[in-house]
Amino acid sequence: MTQQEIKLIAFDLDGTLLDSVPDLAVAADQATRAVGFPGVTELQVRDYVGNGADILIGRALSQSLTINPELSDELRAQARELFDDFYQQTGHKLSHLYPTVKETLKALHQAGFTLALVTNKPSKFVPDVLQQHGIADYFVDVLGGDSFPEKKPNPIALNWLMEKHQIQSTEMLMVGDSKNDILAAKNAGCASFGLTYGYNHGEPISASEPDFVADSLAQLLDVVLVSA
């Protein structure tokens, strides 16, 4: 990949653009308690997020990154349904954009890059969150965790974007905070930009060997914007 090649930049949402854990933790705590299990803390949920809502709830019920195999499908489905309701009720009031996010998206948009969102978050929650934080208009495509049969690290969403926009893998960059994002990029054959903050189950993002590692989203501009 060279800087001049990049045409499309795909972004993860939770942990990359938005710190959504405070609201997710409230909903997960309420859901687990509602089915008679111990509640969970925000600190726990920071470790549990990143693989979609079903996995988050399974981990919350298990109080562990490893989901207890003895949990019934019925219980997990009930807790997931409650979680969705409680999460909707939060109004996402505790979530906030990370520093430099809005400025960086604006600069990339003005520079003519195609911007897409590829998140494992359930699709129904994404539009409101983007509107609420004033970044909805920057994205041409918004793909949620249930847009395709498989979630990241499966590359299906990234492959779909390449096909839709008629670009090669060398022309796309995936930006994220977790190994799922970096693996999805590798599986799609495109470059990756890994952020050191966010949610990665306590593991440094550098361990997943992204092409670029950064502490701030603003550093993305140094990678893709080439001086005339």
For residue 68, count other CB atoms closer than 10 A to its CB: 12
Residues of 173-191 as b/e, b for ≥16 C-beta within 10 angstroms? Answer: bbbbbbbbbbbbbbebebb
Active site residue 146: no
- Phi, psi at residue 175, to the nearest 5°? -115, 125
Helices then strands, each counted (H, E), the chain:
9, 8
Q: How far apart are CA 112 and CA 67, in angstroms?
A: 43
Token pair for residue 163? Answer: 């096909």
Q: How far apart are CA 210 and CA 168, in angstroms?
A: 19
Token pair for residue 140? Answer: 């041409």
Q: How far apart are CA 201 and CA 171, in angstroms?
A: 29
3-state secondary structure of 158: helix
Look at strands 114-118 and 141-143 and give their pairing. parallel
Q: 12, 19, 23, 177: which one is catalytic?
A: 12
Q: How far apart are CA 25 and CA 109, in angstroms?
A: 32
Q: Please state the length of the chain.
A: 228
Tell me the catalytic residues.
12
